[in-house]
Amino acid sequence: MSFLDCLCVTQTLVETLSSQDPSDGVSHQYLSSEPAPCSTPTKVPAEEKTIYASDASHYQLLSELGRGFNNHSLIATARHHPCSRLVAIRLTNLDRCGDEDVRALQNEVLRTRLFSHPNILRSHVAFLSSSWLWVVTPLMDFGSAECLLRTYFPDGMSESLIAYILYGVLQALVYLHGMGFIHRSIKASHILLSGDGRVCLTGLRSLCSMMQHGKRSRVVFDIPENSASILPWLSPEVLRQDLHGYDVKSDSYSLGITACELASGRVPFQNVHPTLMLLQKLSGTPFSLLDTTPFPLQGLRLKASRSGVDSGIGESVAASSLMRTMTAERPQSPAPKNFSSLFHNLVELCIQQEPEKRPSASSLLTHTFFRQAKMQSKETVLDLLQPAIPLSSLPARPRLPTASAHFISATSQGRASSPWEF
């Protein structure tokens, strides 16, 4: 069987997860009892209808966007000659990949073709050219949420933008969970935004199927192969690896950590030693969203969380944030950043220690916090993204070599991986 051959996928009925009983510690008053909005695709993007050739000569490689997959892959913008449409191409040298890497890539390629949802990044086509795997995907013009934080929102995004992004992620999760998959790698670098503001979830390499022998299992026990790189986002039950296992509620925890990441511009636990992080998560050390007053520098101080305990982002991160602020030019914030009670409640629901007390993705979609996201139009979303500039509107970057030998030589050089991940 060739790299891109796939087995027949039989359709299996999967039962809907029932919502768990409310927890005693966190209020569920903002969760509606009404059914969550349907996550079935209602409109196929125009670019999905275009036929993309499995021929490298049909694509003109333009500029590099970043690296990924342990530095084995290069992501670049390209122009598809037949339709003159800009696309993104991920090129991976399979000669540099081990057997496990090849299997992971194969599974990811098959899954990007299996799923059909507007909030999940699909590949147009995947093919082999010599020893290189070409995966052609839509160009997500605003890049990843992590890139937006790093470039335009170093102190976090607005609540309206966060609500819009998380709402799109939740719709993708409802679809994946209904198909019997756990994502296990929800984080800002796996959330991409298109030029018209469409939110797409990627990072499907870490997916875990709950289907065993034709039946849906209640829990799974597998740990992600790349768990070291996604440790801050993993839920306690995934890390615990005990006989209780974990289920789709682990994605709800990761969503809560991602919400903190989008709100502050920093990853919770990012300056904490992995061993200490693991101990804090397993011991149930509570944390909540951190409210800060980032500007002006005079009088900069941290505001205690509503629960009166450590936020999980940590004092060391706050200290490094202050140093970063004093050594880099960043736009001035017009007012202190105080998060709403709705946002606090959403995060607290997601990051509860006991998974049975967390709402499912479908339940989270009914949270009052997302009421604002349902009213967003394309124009208002683009306004929220300002001052971010689409990649297609940026000044021209140096073009990549077009000759195969020169290109392969250039991409074989070791460089640090980029957070841009397709």
Domain annotation covers residue 111: yes
Helix ranges (H only) for 338-420 are 341-350, 361-364, 371-374, 378-385, 404-411
Q: What's at 119, amino acid-wise?
A: N
185 in the same domain as 325 = yes
Separation of alpha carbons 22 and 93, rounded Å = 49
- Rounded to whole angstroms, the Cα distance separating 409 from 411 reads 6
Burial of 218 (0-12, 13-18, 19+ CB in 10 A): exposed
Mark whether 103 and 165 lie in a shared domain. no
The secondary element (H helix, E strand) that includes residue 263 is: helix 249-264
Same domain, 220 and 305: yes
Per-residue pLDDT of the chain (422 residues; tens, 9 = 90+): 444 444 333 333 334 334 344 445 677 777 876 666 555 454 555 566 678 989 999 999 998 888 877 778 899 999 999 998 999 999 999 988 888 888 888 888 888 888 999 999 999 999 999 889 999 999 999 999 999 999 999 999 999 999 999 999 999 999 999 999 999 999 999 999 999 999 999 989 889 999 888 889 999 998 887 778 899 999 999 999 889 999 999 999 999 999 999 999 999 888 888 889 988 898 887 776 766 543 333 333 333 333 333 333 333 333 334 334 333 443 444 345 789 999 999 999 999 999 999 999 999 999 999 998 988 888 999 999 999 999 888 776 656 654 343 444 444 444 444 444 54
Q: Does 259 fall in a domain?
A: yes
Residues 114, 166, single domain; the answer is no
pLDDT at residue 4, rounded to an integer = 46
**Torsion sign (Cα): 313, 200, 100, 406:** negative
Q: Cα–Cα distances in Å, from 371 out to 37, 164, 368, 375, 405?
A: 12, 9, 5, 7, 53
Shared domain for 240 and 297, answered yes or no, is yes
Are 63 and 163 in the same domain? no
Measured CA to CA in angstroms, residue 203 lies from 101, 153, 225, 285, 324 at distances of 14, 22, 13, 28, 29
d(CA 341, CA 328): 31
Give yes or no: residues 182 and 128 share one domain: no
> What is the pLDDT, as a whole number, of residue 309?
34
Count, residues in the chain: 422
Q: Would 320 be classed as within a structural domain? A: yes
Query: What's the one-letter identity of residue 404?
Result: S
Its domain, for residue 186, covers 145-385
Q: Are residues 292 and 355 in the same domain?
A: yes
Closest listed residue to residue 232, CA positions, set 264, 204, 267, 191: 267
Query: What is the Cα–Cα distance from 388 to 52, expressed in whole angstroms?
Result: 29
Report pTM: 0.78
Residue 250 lies in a domain: yes
Residue 411 phi/psi, 5-degree rounding, is: -80, -10
Closest CA to 411 of 96, 136, 80: 96
Q: Are residues 135 and 149 in the same domain?
A: no
Please tell me the total count of domains within the chain: 2
Residue among 77, 173, 87 at smallest CA distance from 138? 87
Q: End-to-end CA distance of the chain, in Å?
A: 25
Query: Is 29 among the domain residues?
Result: no
Residue 416 lies in a domain: no
Q: Do residue 279 and residue 406 come from a single domain?
A: no
User: H or E element: which one contains 212?
Assistant: strand 211-212
CATH code at 251?
1.10.510.10
The first and second tokens of residue 23, run together, are 């927890």
**CATH number of 90's domain:** 3.30.200.20
